[in-house]
Structure 1
Amino acid sequence: MALASAALNALFSYKPFFKLAAGKARGMIVERGEKIGYPWEPELARLRENDWESELLAVRDVNLEYPEYYLKPFHAYDNGNLSWDAALEVDLAAKSVHANVFDPEATSLDPDGDVKLRDSYHQKMLPMLRVSPGDVLDVGCATGLSTFGLHKVFPQAQVVGVDMSPYFVSVANYKLREASKASLPLQFVHSAGEFTGLPDKSFDLVSICLVCHELPRNATKQVVEEANRVLRIGGALSIMEMNPYSASLQRMVNNIFAFTAFKATEPYFDDYRTFKIEEAIQDCGFSFPAQVESSPNHRTMVAHKV
């Protein structure tokens, strides 16, 4: 298995192969999205009518330095998340990718799979929390799918979403304006999860939803350390992620063709699945995380700052 993984990594370092595999993977995601009732092009055409460059100027922190890992191609985009294509398509992609999340054999596709996965995360998280959060931080918020979900669960809390892509933050702000004419206690900030720039001990809950598998392990450690810094004593760190121990993910990893397609959009997954994240969380000043299954492929982990 180690030899096969090394061979795959060597293949993906060859740019023409990466582009071929990524293009095929993206095509499958688009096709599935349309199959479950989310036509790609009409929605993109609607979004492209907005003045996005003005949105970008309003949110971008020009002093933010992007780490090397963030500048590499992933998610089938040459520029990763630093592009309008990635930002405008991410919600559609989430609906497509998670259409079979509760049926890994893909015998049926559920258009609401992404919503159900996020709802399951919150349902599993709540009984494990030992704090009633008034201030919530959503790390790697993308265009706000996870942030809006946290607001629904904690409607009285102030929720802040941070993301390293100013393109994603621009779309999140656009969605916030579309969501309600009333002022919602939500804020989106262009910032790195590793170094948010937010004040010490200013949050009761830090949520990291479907982010860690997109990071090399050193970046994950830094994000967890930053979560510890911004949390108040007794505050909670909650993570929802793919479960590398699940039977269905193990089968995928052992299937060279399926794993090749997956790595075309998730090049850091190998690092994530071999990383003992539970131990890293504890090493960063948290209790050892409690964890439960959120879906056949996902787990929710909650740890508290000690």
Structure 2
Amino acid sequence: MQSDENYQFTAKVYDILDRTYFRKAASSPRNAVISILGDEPLKILDMCTGTGANAFAIAGARKNAKVIGVDISAAMLKKAAAKLEQEKISNVKLIHTDASKLQFPNEEFDVVLISLVLHEISPDLAGKLLGEARRVLKTAGKLIVVEWEEPVSQLKKIPFYLVKKLEPAAFEDFLKCEMDQYFFQFGFEMMQTIHCAYSKVMVLSKNDHI
């Protein structure tokens, strides 16, 4: 388990990466997520919300949505709570909890978002997170997963090298995963993949595999 000091460092690093790699609105994965959601009054779970960047962006763009961000790191949530207070966002709720052991009832959410998380954690923990995501997602709901994607352009591979250096040893293996098969084992069917700057947004539905 990381200390709060390590989590604070991680939070700063990811905020810098966010501003560096996703600064162009047209190719930002966050904007792709927002466009997928539409204007319906959705109940959205942001698993491992971190400092809340996705939750706040969604809540600001989709006023009818109710966003709940959960994270196990008190340090990250403290930073998120400060942003929440500063920006006066009313349709976001932050909860300090373990995303692999959620207290929500079955089929509680229209959308579950997992952004830049799965490559960071062990396969066992990833399975638990996806199991909980499936449990709390409504039958007709959407799981939206944002993950890094190595660019084809040799020029863009240069800045992506920094991402590789900061990520765990198994990161490159995860990048090469056949994502359709990966998510199928956890009871999800790939519906759509949107390629963004250094990343991809995957939209999945529940299947009957589990």
Pairwise same-fold verdict (TM > 0.5): yes
Structure 2 residue corresponding to 1:299, chosen from 184, 192, 200: 200
Structure 2 residue corresponding to 1:96, chosen from 6, 16, 25: 16
Aligned CA-pair RMSD = 3.1
Q: Does 1:174 align with 2:82?
A: yes
TM-fit CA distance, 1:86: 3.3
TM-score w.r.t. the length of structure 2 is 0.80
**Consecutive unaligned residues in structure 2, runs of 5 or more:** none
Task: Map Cα deviations across residues 245-283 of structure 1 (whole Å, 9 max, x no partner).
Answer: x3259x95xx9xx86x65553114134224333323223
Structure 2 residue corresponding to 1:141, chosen from 34, 43, 49: 49
**Larger relative helix fraction:** 1
Question: What corresponds to 1:232 in structure 2?
Answer: 138
Question: What corresponds to 1:86 in structure 2?
Answer: 7
SS at match of 1:150: helix
Structure 2 residue corresponding to 1:200, chosen from 85, 93, 106: 106
TM-fit CA distance, 1:292: 1.6
TM-fit CA distance, 1:89: 6.5
TM-fit CA distance, 1:202: 0.6
How many residues end up aligned between the 2 structures? 205
Q: Report the CA distance shift for 1:89/1:284 in structure 2 as closer, same or farther (over 3 A).
A: closer
SS at match of 1:287: strand
Q: Report the CA distance shift for 1:263/1:195 in structure 2 as closer, same or farther (over 3 A).
A: same
Question: What corresponds to 2:63 in structure 1?
Answer: 155
TM-fit CA distance, 1:151: 0.7
Q: Report the CA distance shift for 1:171/1:120 in structure 2 as closer, same or farther (over 3 A).
A: same
**Larger relative strand fraction:** 2
Q: Report the CA distance shift for 1:262/1:304 in structure 2 as closer, same or farther (over 3 A).
A: closer
SS at match of 1:247: coil
> Aligned ranges for residues 29-108 of structure 1 at < 5 Å?
71=1, 79=2, 82-84=3-5, 86-87=7-8, 90=11, 92-98=12-18, 100-101=20-21
Question: What corresponds to 1:247 in structure 2?
Answer: 152
Q: Say if 1:234 and 1:304, in contact at 8 Å, map to a contact too.
A: yes
Structure 2 residue corresponding to 1:265, chosen from 144, 154, 166: 166
What stretches of structure 1 move > 3 A for 4+ residues in a row? 125-133, 261-264, 274-277
Q: Does 1:281 align with 2:191?
A: no
Q: Say if 1:162 and 1:189, in contact at 8 Å, map to a contact too.
A: yes
> Aligned ranges for residues 110-125 of structure 1 at < 5 Å?
113=23, 116=25, 120-125=28-33
TM-fit CA distance, 1:157: 1.6
In terms of Rg, which structure is larger?
A: 1
Q: Report the CA distance shift for 1:158/1:129 in structure 2 as closer, same or farther (over 3 A).
A: closer
TM-fit CA distance, 1:140: 1.1
